[in-house]
Chains A and B, each alone.
Chain A
Amino acid sequence: MKGYSNGESMLTKKLVIPFIVSASFIYLIPSPPLACSTARHRPHCASPAPTAAPRSWGSLNDPSDHLNIKNALRDLKLQKMSRAKADEDDYWNSSKFTLAFTFDEEDDDYTRLKESKKAVNSISALADEDDDDDDVEKVSWSGEPVGSISWSVKETASKLRPAGDSRELGFPKISASPSLPKNNSVYSLSSLFKAKTKVGGMLSSSDSFSDTPARHYAPELRKPKCEYKDYISNWSPQETILKMQQGKVVSLERFQSLQDKMLLLDKAVDGHDGNIITAILIYLKRSLCKEVLFRELVGRETALRHYIHYLKESGEQKVLLDLFRALGRTEDEALLQYKHHLTITDENKRRDFLKTCLGLPFSPEDSLHVQDHYTLLERQIIIEENDKQVERTGQSDVFKRFPRKASILNMPLITTLYYSCFYHYSEPELAEKQYFLTALAARAKLKAWTDVDSLFTTRNWLGFTKKKSPVAFQRVLDILHKNNAPVQVLEVYVNLLEDLELKINMAHKFKCHDVIINTYRDTKDKKQLLGYQKKFDMSSAEHKKIADVLNNSVRNTHTLHIRYRHTQSLYSKAIRPGCDDVLTVTFLLSKSVGRTEVWTTS
């Protein structure tokens, strides 16, 4: 095993074992002192897997070993022979890209691969005899001989600075990018490794190499201005940027007028160095009031994006929100604020926060999504509270058999649905009613009558649609009526009422004349019909209809008869074991014949 190993003598019992080096990587554990006792364990040891103790190959003469290999090889041979089948490769030769390759277990080559695997594994007797030095599994510190370290830094530097030939390469500027004039500075970048020749700040304590040309740089304000004022004060914005790019000490304090500041910023942007652009922005942030800075950033897209990025990275969310607001980027503002919920761990606080998000200036569609998020979490909190209780008290069988792996809080909608189907499938009544009433109220409010219709429509296995509701249709009618549903809509649901008296009452209430007339017709109540007819003008459609009904009572009976037969045939079809619809059909047959109107072929 290469490198520094765990064979290193232990420090003291008191000391931690900060790293344990396996063959592959540094393993770092800022472990508490206790860890000492288990010092030698190597959790991810990547050393080869010699299950048996290494044996030397000299032992090949050892009969037992020999036998092992022989057996292994015989196995191999047998396999090889059995595989002397037709050339599967033709398959691949005739490949076409869409069919070329199937990730399919049945695949020929896959089988072949499996066989090769077996073959290779069967000679594992040999594989166990690994020497350490040819280990490929090991990702060793790839260090070259330690001696090479003596290659000193000076050597490195001299290698990089070959004899004085300073041939210029004539690479041209490219048009689109603004560029800077050639710099006359004596500072040379001949050494590629700038850091080698500089010390980090002026107050640096890393002084051992102070004789090397130090690159001092510090943003500004570090020393009293007067100390270096005279030798830098005359730098133009352009020169200043250039010096900064070279890592030299500059003072930005000199740029006091707004015009100078902006000139400086624009020059920085022209230099394409994000580091410098950000540095200037930090200075501007300190030396300009927010409103002015924000105003100036409008129209300076590059600078603006750097500023936003800087604010994000340094976690100054408030300033960022102000910025978005000032720029009129309301959606960004809303999203940023919304993102804050991710940092809230308490679910109730999170829900309350989401509620405050509902009023944020999202785009209309996002606004709906956030609304969904809020409602979902609200429900999840209720479910979670309930289920935790149920689980703890062991009331429910399904929780006992399948204990919950995680809380449902903050899960996506589909996961929540899955969860509900998993744990609460057998108790749909409440949920279904809740859903119906909520959905009905919402869709009715929007006067989306087709949506309302589809809420009740279910399709049975015969392809017929029928209307079902978990709540009484009377209740449905109330809701619809309150939402000013037109008579045509109400009629449909009045017709669904099973109690005749109730039906007539409701029909009267909602003025569903057709329903009333039909009902009287079906109950053959001539007296009521005549009485009802009197309510209408002679010229009205209703008056005419009642007259028609009374005149055609014979033909009407016939129609009813046909309807009845139709229903019967449905009934006979429906009689199959296990079919829910049998009940429905029976039920329908037992009720008034007018009920068949509910049935419509799809």
Chain B
Amino acid sequence: MSPHATRRVFTSKGQTDGCSPPLSLIPMAQSIRRDSPELPDFSLLKRLARDQLIYLLEQLPGRKDLFIDADLMSPLDRIANVSTLKQHEVDKLYKVEYKPIVSTSDQLCFLIRPRLQSVKWICDVVNADKAAGKFRRYKLIFTPQKFYACENVLEEQGIFGDVTTDEWGFHLLPLDDDIISLELPEFFRDYFLDGNQRWVRTAGCVLHLLHSLYGPFSKVYGIGRCSKMAYESWREQVEEGEQKGRDGEIGSVFLFDRDVDYVTPMCSQVVYEGLVDDIFRIKCGCVEFGPEVTSSDKSLKVMLNSQDKVFNQIRNEHFSNVFGFLSQKAKNLQTAYDKRCGMDIKQIKTFVSEELKGLKQEHRLLSLHIGASESMMKKKTKQEFQELLKTEHSLLEGFDIRECITFIEEHINRQCSMIESLRLLCLLSLTENGLLSKDYKSMKAQYLQSYGVDHLPTFANLKQLGILVEQPTGETLTAMENKVGKLVNDRAAGKLTDAFSSLAKKSHFRALSRRLNLVPKSDEEYDLRVPKDMAYIFSGAYVPLSCKLIEQVLERDGWTGLEEVTRLLNGQEFAASGCSEADGKARSDTQRTILVMFLGGCTFSEISALRFLGKEKGYKFIIVTTAITNSARLIEALLDNRA
């Protein structure tokens, strides 16, 4: 099919069709290179969470109705099933809907996130029962922890003592072999927008848990204020508790604050898994494909993980490679079915018993992903995706900015997707270090006219977060600084620059991009089939800043030599190592197993980039994230146009 491309042949293990696809795919989880260590078994986390839940349910003996927070349902779905709950005398299940309840049970159990709204609702339920003279027992299970503020509500509403409270330490949900999620999307807004640190200790707990089960870690690197605090919180917990001695399965840990790099999650995703997430929204490792994908009148919920053999081979691929791969796969499938033609009865029997099931499964997966690709293609064609990508690439490159602004303006004027427009504005601001004052005012006015003035508070939020801002008037300073810099010698100029930069705080995307070589020269050919660096996840236009930093720090075993970069990122970097490093060599595999924890969320594109990096450098990355995110989720978290 492609004689020119360098081939990375699949290990044919697990290939039921018997022929390895001759495509230059990057079969990440499938073909384990000799130097990439095996992943630890994270299913233990699920088991622990489930057993703890069962224990908590048994704390309320007898039959009971269970109310579950809407956003806990999918995570719960991943670790337990209804019969588990039934066995522990859960009678009926309800979703928390902030409405009066209809349950007739005399025991109610509530499984909720520690939110004041939920607690207030429960107080209403209890007080309504009291007023009606109904006696019930109530149990509140907060996950992953309860907050004083919640108990304060119970106290204020006069039901403290009428209910029992507990914590379900369901901190971590393994979404895949190498992805673990805290399933806390609110982490992002709470910490980065509102400056609330209530999840910091949770992050510390997570580190503690992973350290206890899969540690000890040998090194911890990090960048960002929240990372620092999470590290401190974890370290305190280690000091509080006992530490067991065993060989760890995880070597280094990298903690990463989302605000270090907002550019990457603001870009359109073009790697298959990222694209599926952008278009269909993968929720808790599961996606719902509508009738347009399934070619039937039904929607299907599909798990997307390494168990899906077809998906596993295309998830990290640039979308343009996916077509070719799927066609090839279809051919192979056909050949496999064809084999059956000249068979006698006995051979057919063997065929049916040995191969057919695999073929059928592959067939179904294949038609599903073909359907999805086709549907994504249609959607993207409709919204002039090509032009959109071109604009994004220009912004990343810092090229034709006026043209980009015109494009964004038209996007707004035509009332195209409200989120998409904001995303482009943010990307413009992030890459250009803010908008010129007149541009900012005019774009904001046009935005409000197209999507409603109620977005005023949204703009305030974006400004507060620093991702959509007016350029500081200190630009004139920079111009002056450049002039002066040319006149005096380097050292003096350096001092001047420092002085000036303290006056006008800048997002330094351009400087970072130059220093870290994030934007490859556009006149070079970029073969997406044989990617040479992580830029392939953005069609070769941009190496994600987040992943580049991780690469650099791992390569240098610390931040040495990156001083200028960290200065541009406003500091807050750290590196620490544990002292017990005696058995160093023996654990070299462990040393190459690296846990990267994103505080505030990470995107599937970043995960793909890290998988690629791991493949290239012989690392195995484990991604821990507060939630899987993408541009739309980030922006939606910042909207404030609803009551």
User: With A103-B385, A146-B84, A219-B148 given, is the CB distance from A137 to B327 under 8 Å?
Assistant: no
CB-nearest residue of chain A to B100: A30
Q: Does B527 reach chain A (CB closer than 8 Å)?
A: yes
With contacts A26-B73, A113-B377 known, is A412 near B450, CB below 8 A? yes
Residues from chain A with a CB closer than 8 A to the CB of B577 are: 171
**Given the known A-B contacts A279-B149, A314-B149, are A120 and B333 also in contact in the complex, defined by CB atoms under 8 Å?**
yes
Indicate if the CB atoms of A126 and B363 lie closer than 8 Å.
yes
Q: How far apart sit A144 and B44, CA to CA, in the bound complex (Å)?
A: 12
Kindly supply a per-residue 1/0 record for chain B positions 531-552, scoring 1 wherever the CB is within 8 Å of any chain A CB and 0 otherwise.
0000100011100000000000
Q: Nearest Cβ distance between residue B324 and chain A, in whole angstroms?
A: 6
Q: Which residues of A contact B235 (CB under 8 A)?
A: 171, 173, 179
- Which residue in chain B gives the minimum CB-CB distance to A203? B161
**Complex Cα gap A114–B378 (Å):** 12
Q: In the complex, which residues of chain A have a beta carbon less than 8 angstroms from the beta carbon of B449? A: 372, 412-414
Would B364 and A92 count as touching, CB distance under 8 A?
A: no
B149 close to A282 (CB less than 8 A): yes
Q: Interface residues of A, CB < 8 Å — how many?
A: 167
Is A134's CB under 8 angstroms from B93's CB?
A: no
Q: Does B126 make an interface contact (CB < 8 A)?
A: no
Instruction: Check if B77 sits within 8 Å of A26, measured CB to CB.
Output: yes
A119 x B148 contact (CB < 8 A):
no
| Residues of A with C-beta under 8 A to B380 | 103
Inter-chain contact A188/B242, CB cutoff 8 Å: yes
Q: Does B578 contact A (CB under 8 A)?
A: yes
Contact A338 B61 (CB under 8 A): no
Bound-state Cα–Cα, A309 to B147, Å: 14
> In the complex, which residue of chain B has the Cβ closest to the Cβ of A26?
B93
A119 and B232 within 8 A (CB): no
Residue A348 lies at the interface, judged by CB distance under 8 Å to chain B:
no
B518 to chain A, nearest CB (A): 14
Tell me, in angstroms, the Cα distance from A94 to B87 when the chains sit together: 60
Query: In the complex, which of the residues B47, B52, B451, B453 contacts A196, with contact meaning CB atoms closer than 8 Å?
Result: B52
The distance from the CB of B520 to the nearest CB of chain A, in whole angstroms, is 8
Of the residues A19, A201, A410, contact of B161 by C-beta under 8 Å: A201
CB distance from B411 to the nearest CB of A (A): 12
A362: min CB distance to chain B, Å: 8
> With the chains together, A279 CA to B303 CA distance in Å?
40
Would A302 and B334 be within 8 Å (CB), given that A25-B73, A126-B363, A180-B236 are in contact? no
Check A127–B367 contact: CB distance below 8 A: yes
- Interface residue stretch chosen among B368-376, B584-592, B602-610: B368-376
- Which of chain A's residues have a CB closer than 8 A to the CB of B244? 161-163, 165-167
Provide the residues of chain A in CB contact with B92, threshold 8 Å: 16, 18-19
- Nearest residue in B to A45 (C-beta to C-beta)? B298
Q: Are B200 and A274 in contact (CB under 8 A)?
A: yes
Q: Is the CB of A275 within 8 A of B77?
A: no
Task: Check: B82 CB closer than 8 A to any chain A CB.
Answer: yes
* Shortest distance from the beta carbon of B343 to any chain A beta carbon, whole Å: 10
> Do residues B212 and A339 form an inter-chain contact, with CB atoms below 8 A?
no
A169 touches B363 (CB 8 A): no
Q: Does B337 interact with chain A (Cβ within 8 Å)? A: yes
From residue A544, how far is it (CB to closest CB) to chain B in Å? 46
- Within 8 Å of chain B (Cβ to Cβ): is A117? yes
State in angstroms the CA–CA spacing of A177 and B522 once bound together.
42
- Known contacts A103-B385, A162-B244, A335-B460, A410 near B452 by CB under 8 Å: yes
Chain A 37-51, CB-CB to B under 8 Å as 1, else 0, gives 000000011100100
Given A96-B526, A98-B393: A162 touches B246 (CB 8 Å cut-off)? yes
CB contact between B448 and one of A16, A176, A369 (< 8 Å): that residue:
A369
Return chain B residues, CB-CB under 8 Å to A339. 457, 640, 643
- Distance A516 CA – B81 CA, assembled complex (angstroms): 94
Residues of B within 8 A of A143 (CB): 80-81, 83-84
Is A49 touching B296 in the complex (CB atoms < 8 A)? yes
A90 to B341: give the CA distance in the assembly, Å: 33
Which residues from B are CB-within-8-Å of A112?
323-324, 327
Cβ of B514 within 8 Å of any chain A Cβ, yes or no, is no
The stretch among A72-80, A259-267, A446-454, A564-572 that forms the contact with chain B is A72-80
Binary B-proximity of A320-344 (CB < 8 A = 1, otherwise 0): 0000000000011001001101110
Complex interface bits, B69-101 against A, C-beta within 8 A gives 1, otherwise 0: 000011001111111101100001111010101
Is A488's CB within 8 Å of the partner chain B?
no
Interface status of A115 (Cβ within 8 A of chain B) = yes
Report A-chain residues with C-beta under 8 Å of the C-beta of B501. none
Q: Which residues of A contact B526 (CB under 8 A)?
A: 95-97, 100
User: Does B503 interact with chain A (Cβ within 8 Å)?
Assistant: no
Indicate if B301 sits at the interface (CB-CB under 8 A): yes
| Docked complex Cα distance between A217 and B526 (Å) | 60
Interface 9-mer from B353-361, B555-563, B617-625: B353-361
Docked Cα-Cα span, A217 to B529, in Å, equals: 58
- Which of B79, B81, B319, B329: most chain A CB closer than 10 A? B81
User: A308 touching B148 by the CB < 8 A rule?
Assistant: no
User: Is A21 in contact with chain B by the CB < 8 A criterion?
Assistant: yes
User: Chain A nearest CB: distance from B96 CB in Å?
Assistant: 10
Q: Can you name the residue of chain B whose Cβ is closest to the Cβ of A79?
A: B334
Closest to B52 in A: A193
Q: B148's closest neighbor in chain A, by CB?
A: A279
Within the assembled complex, what's the spacing in Å between the Cα atoms of A109 and B102? 55
Could you give 22 example pairs across A and B, Cβ below 8 Å? A4-B81, A46-B301, A73-B334, A89-B5, A97-B528, A97-B540, A105-B381, A119-B334, A126-B363, A136-B368, A141-B81, A153-B52, A162-B245, A169-B578, A173-B235, A174-B231, A200-B163, A272-B232, A278-B196, A335-B456, A339-B643, A376-B453
Q: How far is the CB of B416 from chain A (nearest CB, A)?
A: 11
Does A429 touch B at the CB level, under 8 Å? Answer: no
The CA of A168 and the CA of B578, in the complex, are separated in Å by 9
CB-CB contacts below 8 Å: A99-123 with B: 100-105, 109-110, 112-117, 119-121, 123
Q: B-facing mask of A340-361, CB < 8 A → 1, else 0?
A: 0111000000000000000000
Q: Are A76 and B334 in contact (CB under 8 A)?
A: yes
Distance in Å from the Cβ of A352 to the closest Cβ of chain B? 16
Interface residues of A in 1-21 (CB under 8 A from B): 2-4, 15-16, 18-19, 21
Residue A211 lies at the interface, judged by CB distance under 8 Å to chain B: no
Question: Nearest 5 pairs between A and B by C-beta?
Answer: A141-B81, A170-B579, A200-B165, A274-B198, A195-B167
Contact call A272/B229, Cβ cutoff below 8 A: yes
Q: Give chain B residues whose Cβ lies under 8 Å from the Cβ of A120.
A: 330, 333, 363, 366-367, 370
Q: Does A194 contact B (CB under 8 A)?
A: yes
Given the interface pairs A112-B323, A136-B308, the reply to whether A151 lies near B47 with Cβ below 8 Å is yes
In whole angstroms, how far apart are the Cα atoms of A413 and B455 in the complex?
13
Interface residues of A in 115-163 (CB under 8 A from B): 115-117, 119-121, 123, 126-127, 129-131, 134, 136-144, 146, 148-149, 151-153, 156, 160-163
